[in-house]
Structure 1
Amino acid sequence: MASDLTPLILEDGALNWLDSLPDSVLEIHDGIIASDGASWLVGGAVRESMRGRLPKDYDIATSLTPDEVEEAFDHTIPTGKAFGTITVVIDGVNHEVTTLRSDGGYSDGRRPDAVHLTTSLALDLERRDFTINAMAVDIGRRQLFDPHYGLSDLKNHRLRAVGNANRRLSEDGLRIMRAYRFLDQGDAFVWNTDLELEMALVERRDMLSAISVERIWAEFERILNGVDASRVLKRMAKDGIIDIIIGGNTPEDSIRISSVKGDIQASMRMAVLLKDRDLVDVADTLKSLKVSNIFKNSVLWFHDCLGTSPINGDEGHLRLYQYAMEDNLNDFLAIDEDWMGKDFTDLKNRLRKLDFPQTRDCLVDGHWLMNRTGLEQGMRLGRLKLWMHRLQIERNISTIEEMESLLCTLQWEYGDPKTWPKPIWP
């Protein structure tokens, strides 16, 4: 079955990536053809492949109905059958196979009120969000269909909506978040929207109120993890989107935007964005976004650490700082240098030359301490171990003999153990 679109004339070799398709994709294609259907690769698989990158997923569009797809393959899952989507499982690999369709209205701003199955590839591509996602490839005929000039936009690093931008965003408010995410393609190029989409992102930002917090956070976390997140966040601040997501007021020229450049983890970026509020408010914001406990705890810690890098600290402080930061040291130095507005060259040199303990673990355990102090298990014993561990780090202690001498200098019999130091920063 041929498409109702005219294929694009391409340079020789432009579709050579088809020769490297996974066997599971080829098996699905062959199964659809054997059932007298038509099959096209669509969406991100085409977008990524046409720019020379390996796709994470391969989605397939077909002229077969969902029932016919289920009949054509032994192992299927009706993941979205009401919307025309069947998951086909080949050798343990899942691929979404969706019947060509056009969508009805979007009264709730999230999903179509009705789905109309069709055999028209043109109608199917017309319903998609952005032109770079509205291309299709016929594997067998080795043809690319690009009625909305997505390939040109891909080459020019331009994000455009399919058809009317305002209408596309009003259909599904999550497309607003996806638009900002697509402005960071993880490459060396600066992506921008066309003017129509730029205006629509601001005009339709109210659509985010119809989207669940979980879906918004899933997209925002991906933005925070992007290599060009600082530029995208600046654009989101300018458009008033960040204020909708995290509350408060974040102008585009805020230091909380300029300090998140570089390839750093999302929780560090979030900590900086939320540095205009205290820890209680930060915790409340993270709770409202329904982030994971791991992410929340990481944000709270980095938030507490911002502005505390020991520029004038002694070697003990430097060792404790390095111990606490672990693999986050270089990233945090970069972000805190911007945040504090100080030159960290000397600090980085001192850290580089610093003698650091060969082991991160405490050299002594609870039994060792019990034998030497007579203490029983409890808070005093536990806090004494933490105190000694901190001093072990600060003083670069490396032997049990040194720890024994250290124990003799501590007034562990007296005082409130809750006040004793621990191996933490700040």
Structure 2
Amino acid sequence: MRLENMPVEFQQALPLINTLEEAGYEAYFVGGSVRDVLLKRRIHDVDIATSAYPEEVKAIFEKTVDIGIEHGTVLVLAEDSQYEITTFRTEDVYVDYRRPSGVTFVRCLEEDLLRRDFTINAFALAEDGQIIDKFDGLTDLENKLIRAVGVADERFNEDALRIMRALRFSASLDFDIEEKTFEAMKVHAPLLEKISIERSFIELDKLLTSDYWRKGLRNFIDSKAYNHLTGLVGKEAQLENVLKNIKSDYFWFTTSEQAWAYLLINLEVENCKDFLKKWNVSNEFTKKVTNIYEAYKIALERVWEVKDLYKYGFDAFMYAEGLLEAEERDIDTSLLPQLTMKLPIKSKSELNINGQVLMNHFNRKGGIWIGQIISEVEELVVNGQLENNQDAILEYVEKELKEE
């Protein structure tokens, strides 16, 4: 098969391919970018593989950076762009179910493609547009099928993260997983326990935020992969609820935080912070997930109030509202705009008072009293019991101090 129209991303990188070939080496576009071109999807990263060894690549191009030279990768700086060029290689024995103990540089493209995970990721694209397909990946693309390259058991035993990648691809591409490949995934799923949780988080996160997340989650459940990820062991029924409770077939999670908040809601997690800490996510991510989670939970118990909006933020309630609507719960969609209009301040920084003003006005030294007073004032202003006016606030504080 020949690609008649090279996308602009490949056209811009063609001079590097030509330079390598003029120097006597083979060079091709490889990986997910080739797959995405064939599927008419947007290209993310353009990767180049070559028969030139790393030192030979560095000798050819003027500006290079060693970003992974021990694995054969050299970053080439070309005008306003940069490209990773990786030497054809084979991989030694995998010692941790994730990384090879070493790599061997080779001159043969087929040997390099043989080490890749799935047939739809094992294409090479020549500078003339010719698609090199050694493992019948074009047929799998046509049939919308994810199939391991070579022996599936070997691929997943080498790198267990490929299990999560297969699940993620099923969600992002709307592809089925070939039967033998899926069976091998189930057999080797326990190896996920040896993979860093950060890596598994990235793949599960991409799955949940994909267009076909329902298919991905269905495969995630059926593969039993969840039984080998922290906090999800034995949670099949709760994961099924994620699929069951969203009534609309046309609902997509807007953000990662919204997706994980809904996951935690259905998992019946009592403490979001403790759960997410095990996944090594950022404090900011944890806070946003928790805020959505709390906003959702409040709606099940009572009507949202101004103080809730102030505490958890507009975005949290907007995403919680989206979840409630997707569940077809009876909610007042006009409530959030009304609360927003009633909100006198959005943060403590908007108070017309601060510690320095209090110390100067009352001629008192700093101390714990300042924080206590400002917190009291903040609550009163948010609840509409005190005007956010400096004179009014100082008058209130003066009364409070006299009663001490």
TM-score by length of 1: 0.78
2:83 corresponds to which residue?
95
1:351 corresponds to which residue?
336
In 2, distance between residues paired with 1:82 and 1:190?
Answer: 36
In 2, distance between residues paired with 1:407 and 1:230?
Answer: 57
In 2, distance between residues paired with 1:90 and 1:285?
Answer: 44
Q: Alignment partner of 2:125: what SS?
A: strand
Q: Is the 8 A contact 1:318 1:351 kept in 2?
A: no
Shift of 1:194: 1.6
2:230 corresponds to which residue?
246
Shift of 1:28: 1.6
Which residue among 228, 231, 241 is the counterpart of 1:255?
241
Shift of 1:172: 0.9
Shift of 1:250: 1.5
2:220 corresponds to which residue?
236
Distance 1:414 1:155, change over 3 A: farther
Structure ranking higher in helix proportion: 2
2:205 corresponds to which residue?
221
* 1:384 counterpart = 2:384: no
Letter in 1 for 2:252: G
Letter in 2 for 1:268: Q
1:169-194 per-residue CA deviation (whole Å, 9 max, x = no partner) reads 11111111111121222xxx633212
Which residue among 270, 276, 293 is the counterpart of 1:278?
270
Shift of 1:310: 7.2
In 2, distance between residues paired with 1:113 and 1:413?
Answer: 69
In 2, distance between residues paired with 1:15 and 1:375?
Answer: 79
Q: Is the 8 A contact 2:66 2:74 kept in 1?
A: yes
Letter in 1 for 2:54: P
Identity across matched positions, percent = 27
* 1:209 counterpart = 2:193: yes
Distance 1:97 1:382, change over 3 A: same
TM-score by length of 2: 0.82
* 1:58 counterpart = 2:46: yes
2:64 corresponds to which residue?
76
Shift of 1:97: 1.3
In 1, distance between residues paired with 2:274 and 2:46?
Answer: 39
Q: Is the 8 A contact 1:103 1:112 kept in 2?
A: yes
Shift of 1:68: 1.4
Q: Is the 8 A contact 2:292 2:319 kept in 1?
A: no
Q: Alignment partner of 1:183: what SS?
A: helix
1:255-404 matches, cutoff 5 A: 255-256=241-242, 258=244, 262-275=252-265, 276-279=268-271, 282-309=272-299, 312-313=302-303, 317-323=304-310, 324-336=312-324, 342-344=329-331, 346=332, 348-354=333-339, 355-357=341-343, 360-361=346-347, 362-366=350-354, 367=356, 377-395=366-384, 400=389, 404=392
Aligned length: 391
Distance 1:371 1:337, change over 3 A: farther
In 2, distance between residues paired with 1:151 and 1:358?
Answer: 59
Shift of 1:335: 2.3
Q: CA RMSD in A?
A: 3.4
1:363-387 per-residue CA deviation (whole Å, 9 max, x = no partner) reads 4112555577676544433333333
In 1, distance between residues paired with 2:402 and 2:323?
Answer: 41
In 2, distance between residues paired with 1:33 and 1:204?
Answer: 41
Distance 1:353 1:82, change over 3 A: closer
1:31-70 per-residue CA deviation (whole Å, 9 max, x = no partner) reads 2022111210000121122222332211111122222112
Question: Structure 1 residues 35-44 or 58-67, which shifts more?
Answer: 58-67
Distance 1:414 1:224, change over 3 A: farther
Q: Provide structure 1 residue ranges, at least 5 long, that are not aligned to the other structure.
A: 1-7, 417-426
Distance 1:64 1:148, change over 3 A: same
